[in-house]
Structure 1
Amino acid sequence: MTAAHCASAFAALGLPPYLPRLLPELGDPDARWAGLLYVLPTLCTALAAPVWGRLADRHGPKPLLVRAQFGLAVAFGLAAIAQNMTSLVIALIAQGLLGGTYSASTAYLAAGLRGPRLAGALALMQGSARTALAGAPVLAGLLSTMLDVREMYGMAALLPLAAAVATLILPAPTGGGRSVRAAAEPTTARAGITVAGMCLAEGGFVLVTVITFPYFLPLAHQIAPGLAPVLIGLLFAAPHLCYLLACAFTLRWLRGRARAGLTAGYALAAASAAVHLFVAPGSGALAWLVVGRLVLGAALALGLPSLSLLATEAATGRRPGKLFGTVEAASKSGAVLAGVTASALAGFGPAAPLAIPVVVGLALAAAVAGFTRPAPGPLIAPTS
């Protein structure tokens, strides 16, 4: 399951940075629409994820996961044959509306697992996303020396297609967790974090971490002029590598401490942004840049496992499709908000958007105890 999601994510995350190269061929010579098109699939995913989640509860998570993977393949295929801006927009909308492989994968896992096993599986899913986020731009960069952007989209369509074929072989989720049928029956369980609290936790963490990604490359060039592209790439990937190296340990250590871990994650994300924001070009700039990336890595290593543990808590007694579809919508909304606000501030320089995670990260760290407070009384899963 993790490998299938990683294959789909490689395609979805590796190609958007190359849209500015494609747009002049489609009638946008200055690539003015690149920013909007970059967030368009994310916005559409935010709108569609809750709907697909409810359908997963009704028809089973496996068919809806296969649908998402085939949908992503179709969307990439449409982008590969785009001949004008309209056809590209349709392809990117289809990517958002028909995709949603992450929420579909987590719903599949939550229908078959529970407790520590579910938390571990969700942490692995985050690992697949971090692997794709760190490696996809590098792989796409290598392919771009041999293929044009539309040919890359055509090749990318093969990845979710292969993931769909692999998923078809997997069994429908049964056993360790609650089945789809059981999820629709009344259940009394210990109250955990509310859905609203989970959405705020997830969306807030995405906001304070993702907002740094698009502007890191120009910021690195500004802080450390002449830095080799390969070193910049390694610095970009460093926080995600920190998560991959530490998540198994931090997941075990944070059991029973998820709220403290999330608080630390928000605070460290704010600290990392502050380092990036205030470091000035000079002899020690590169060292401070490395410190900032490692602090962000610590934020991911503490915050993401904490979110996995809280999601496991939230999944108790709730329909997995509806829950993870709603949380995915909140996550994508956080990414869209990050993109919009960062674009508004980018005119003041590549470091300006980093003021947002400093302020928001500290505010969320102070408020974690409030918005992650368990719901009063036992949770009764609805019957309709």
Structure 2
Amino acid sequence: MRQTIFITVLGHFGAAFAALCMPPFYAHILQQNFSSQTLVMAGWYFTLPTLAAAISNPLWGKLADRIGIRASLIRAHWGLCLSFIVTGMARTPWEFAFGLTLQGLLGGTFAASNAFLASFLPGKRLATLLSVMQGSARTALFAGPAIIGLFSDGQNLLHIFFYLAVFPGLAGLILYLLPAKTSTPAAHTIADNTGTAPAGAGALSASSLYRYQALFTIGTVLTYPYFVIDLAQRLNMSAAWAGALFGLPHALFLVLAWPIGRHVNFSNAQTALARFSALTCAGLLLQVLANNLPLLATGRILMGVGMTGAYLAINALAASTTRKASAGQHFGKLEGANKWGAVMAGILASGLATSMSYTAPIWLACALLAGLSIFIESKRL
């Protein structure tokens, strides 16, 4: 079982690194390869793969419960590999858009990996492994933009997609080592047939969790599309520094997940989500008011602490509402909610950045995260 878990996490990291390192540089790619007039469309291009994933993830999840979760996981890796190759071959803005759309339609490695783990892990251990998977994604978000930023001077970033295709391609091959079937004791099923968590988990329904996931995603992803270009204009910061700061909150997840995770469990997950959402809001507020690097870095650190706790809470709630028989559908819907949130965030970011300023999306993110915190607390009273 340990080998199976290791291969699943390693394969996801490779795919996540490839998928998550490029979005902060879409504006740079558009300006470098196409007309400078396409720069204002960065947020829309950011939205394309997430929109496609929002539509396809629940469908892939439902299919996985029928054809086998392992087969679905391999499909997701190879689909991502193919889409990266197509994206790297783009010669027009429309071809670039098509490649990004394929990434969303054919990918879905995060949901597929989580569903595979849910098929043979009990509730508490599943929650822990979901946090490990989240750490894999955070590592990719931290290391990816920082590394790509080093290649931003004098290099055509569009061609990097060819190299990135190697990661999910190899992951798909390695996954052949996974067992075709894994037996799961009946005791590993943690939610009842209604899809509602047991009383110890705060009796949160899966549908409520999907809504919380979507809203938290909107509140954080709103700041992604124009982060690099905002810092370049507001603080005259290089792409390399901006890439490193972009990844800072995600790097903190790796440091703080274990100590914070000791205090987040099924019984207090909703409270934790509310309070860490508020802390994320405070970090964003400090960033939007920052006029120097130390203040901005402090805001990113607060944001990192808040995001870590919030993701751990969501993982605990996800594990508490999982049923073995429909694990693929459950995680497909959860990731679909995440992607729909990212879609809405990209649309809002584009509209606000082009009509107002690059900091306008951050102000809206603060309002949404504050609202989420207040709503969850009010529902618990």
Quote the residue 1:244 is aligned against: 254
What displacement does 1:289 show?
A: 1.7
Matched AA of 2:344: L
Superimposed CA distance per residue, residues 259-285 of structure 1 (whole angstroms, 9 cap, x where no aligned partner): 121011110121112212334x3xxx4
Of 200-209 and 19-28, deviating more is 19-28
Conserved 8 A contact 1:46-1:328 = yes
What displacement does 1:3 show?
A: 1.6
Give the TM-score of the pair, scaled to structure 2. Answer: 0.86
Give the TM-score of the pair, scaled to structure 1. Answer: 0.86
Quote the residue 2:99 is aligned against: 91
What displacement does 1:31 show?
A: 2.2
* Contiguous gaps of at least 5 residues in structure 2: 1-7
Quote the residue 1:265 is aligned against: 276
Quote the residue 1:343 is aligned against: 350
Quote the residue 1:42 is aligned against: 50
Quote the residue 2:133 is aligned against: 125
1:292 aligns with 2:302: no
Quote the residue 2:3 is aligned against: none
Match of 2:363 among 355, 360, 365: 355
Matches within 5 A, 1:108-123: 108-123=116-131
Superimposed CA distance per residue, residues 188-214 of structure 1 (whole angstroms, 9 cap, x where no aligned partner): 983642121111121121111222233
Conserved 8 A contact 2:146-2:244 = no
Quote the residue 1:196 is aligned against: 207
Matched AA of 2:222: I
Quote the residue 1:333 is aligned against: 340
Distance 1:131 1:27, change over 3 A: closer
CA distance in 2, matches of 1:179, 1:54: 23
1:167 aligns with 2:175: yes
Match of 1:321 among 328, 339, 342: 328
Aligned residues: 366
Match of 2:160 among 134, 149, 152: 152
What displacement does 1:63 show?
A: 0.2
Conserved 8 A contact 2:114-2:130 = yes
Quote the residue 2:4 is aligned against: none
Distance 1:54 1:371, change over 3 A: farther
Matched AA of 2:248: A
CA distance in 2, matches of 1:197, 1:325: 15
Matched AA of 1:107: A
What displacement does 1:46 show?
A: 0.1
What displacement does 1:170 show?
A: 1.4
CA distance in 2, matches of 1:187, 1:214: 38
* Contiguous gaps of at least 5 residues in structure 1: 374-384
Distance 1:119 1:248, change over 3 A: same
Determine helix, strand or coil for the equivalent of 1:315. coil
Of 42-51 and 336-345, deviating more is 336-345
Quote the residue 1:254 is aligned against: 264
What displacement does 1:187 show?
A: 8.6
CA distance in 1, matches of 2:33, 2:235: 35
CA distance in 2, matches of 1:371, 1:175: 38
Distance 1:155 1:247, change over 3 A: same
Indicate the percent of aligned positions where both proteins have the same amino acid: 32
Determine helix, strand or coil for the equivalent of 1:30. helix
Superimposed CA distance per residue, residues 144-200 of structure 1 (whole angstroms, 9 cap, x where no aligned partner): 5575344311111111001111112112462456699x99x9699836421211111
Conserved 8 A contact 1:208-1:266 = no
What displacement does 1:117 show?
A: 0.9
